[in-house]
């Protein structure tokens, strides 16, 4: 790729007794994506109204959309029904299109992968929750991966949504009590999904390409679930992003009950690859006291949070924001591609 890059990095950290002033962009955004993850269907959900204050054009679920760890399919259906009846979520559904992926707790098994016994039934409940038509091709194939083209008068954004559960090989337990898993060989996506992803990136004409993964891609040192548990898969993804020449790729993730920005400089990529983690909507790791992440930019936010991406097509600019209660900005990161 022959792009020259200008990167503007602004970090605004929210302190416990104060607030931050919004960074003023040169113009109103052309398109706004909101996203979030880790949402208990039976818990208070105070952020839907805050999300709508930002007038997003679309909302993306990042996984753990409900918590229904079970081997009884009907329990999944009941959890989704509770979530869908939530008044705040109903207002969101009536305002904007909603797309997304699952993670482990809405898949149905904590840290679950390809051996989950009711994954076929779980897939159908997930598709029902997302309002996917009964004749949609996703109903008859394995996995919930999909893509959407978001068209605007200024240009398009492609959202590529990965399934990190249905095909994922077993995780390798770590003997260290402070680290749940350790790196091993194996696959996250499976060859069928890898082939699909390659085609999605190579044929994309969008000005921006968003890859939504339920688990973190760049942060790989903490010992919990991450693409780093399968290093060859993480490298394969980075290599594919470079080789595909898809424009302006941004990674989104959830799962961790914290929010953070990570970035990595990739050989052959003329801009920093950013992984924006936003988690969670109803509960977070409020006792968080630190963990390693060599790719972290700024600080970890351990309060309830949702993510925003504000697109400026004319200047190839994306402003990424973490926001929480009272729509308060917690931290942001701005990248301008040229």
Can you give the pLDDT at residue 26?
Answer: 55
Q: Please state the rounded mean pLDDT for residues 236-242.
A: 98
246-293 pLDDT, tens per residue? Answer: 999 999 999 999 999 999 999 999 899 999 999 999 999 999 999 999
167-184 pLDDT, tens per residue? Answer: 999 999 998 877 889 999
Can you give the pLDDT at residue 13?
Answer: 35
pLDDT at position 42 over 50:
yes
Q: What φ, ψ does residue 130 adopt, rounded to 5°?
A: -85, 0
pLDDT at position 18 over 60:
no
Mean pLDDT, all residues of the chain: 93
pLDDT at position 12 over 50:
no
pLDDT at position 116 over 60:
yes
Q: Give the integer Cα–Cα distance in Å for 126 and 166.
A: 12
Contact (Cβ atoms closer than 8 angstroms) between residue 331 and residue 14: yes
Q: How distant is the alpha carbon of residue 322 from its chain centre? A: 13
Q: Please state the rounded mean pLDDT for residues 80-97.
A: 98
Enter the DSSP assignment of 25: P
DSSP string, 75-105: HHHHHHHHHHT-HHHHHHHHHS-EEE---HH
Can you give the pLDDT at residue 15?
Answer: 30
- 3-state SS class at 60: strand
pLDDT at position 331 over 90:
yes
pLDDT at position 16 over 80:
no
Q: Which of 61, 11, 13, 42 is nearest to 212 (CA)?
A: 61
DSSP string, 40-53: -TTS--TTHHHHHH
Q: Please state the rounded mean pLDDT for residues 91-107.
A: 98
């Amino acid at each position: 790729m022959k792009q020259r890059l200008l990167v503007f990095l602004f970090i605004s950290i929210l302190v416990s007794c104060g607030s931050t002033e919004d960074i003023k962009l040169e113009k109103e955004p052309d398109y706004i994506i909101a996203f979030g993850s880790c949402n208990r269907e039976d818990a208070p959900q105070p952020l839907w109204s805050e999300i709508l204050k930002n007038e997003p054009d679309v909302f993306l679920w990042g996984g753990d959309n409900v918590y229904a760890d079970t081997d009884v399919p009907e329990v999944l259906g009941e959890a989704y029904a509770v979530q869908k009846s939530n008044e705040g979520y109903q207002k969101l559904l009536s305002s904007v299109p909603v797309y997304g992926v699952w993670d482990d707790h809405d898949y149905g098994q904590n840290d679950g992968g390809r051996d989950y016994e009711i994954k076929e039934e779980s897939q159908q409940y997930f598709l029902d929750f997302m309002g996917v038509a009964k004749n949609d091709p996703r109903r008859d194939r394995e996995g919930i991966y999909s893509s959407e083209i978001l068209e605007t008068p200024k240009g398009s954004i492609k959202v590529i949504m990965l399934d990190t559960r249905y095909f994922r090989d077993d995780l390798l337990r770590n003997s260290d009590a402070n680290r749940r898993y350790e790196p091993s060989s194996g696959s996250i996506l499976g060859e069928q999904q890898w082939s699909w992803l390659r085609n999605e990136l190579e044929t994309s004409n969008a000005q921006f390409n968003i890859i939504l993964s339920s688990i973190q891609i760049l942060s790989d040192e903490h010992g919990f679930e991450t693409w780093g548990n399968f290093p060859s898969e993480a490298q394969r993804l980075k290599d594919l992003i470079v080789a595909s020449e898809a424009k302006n790729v941004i990674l989104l993730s959830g799962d961790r009950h914290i929010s953070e920005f990570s970035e990595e400089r990739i050989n052959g990529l003329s801009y920093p690859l950013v992984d924006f983690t936003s988690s969670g909507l109803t509960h977070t790791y409020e006792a968080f006291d630190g963990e390693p992440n060599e790719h972290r930019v700024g600080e970890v936010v351990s309060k309830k949070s949702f993510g925003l991406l504000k697109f400026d097509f004319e200047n190839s600019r994306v402003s990424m924001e973490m926001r929480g209660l009272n729509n308060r900005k917690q931290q942001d990161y701005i990248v301008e591609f040229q």
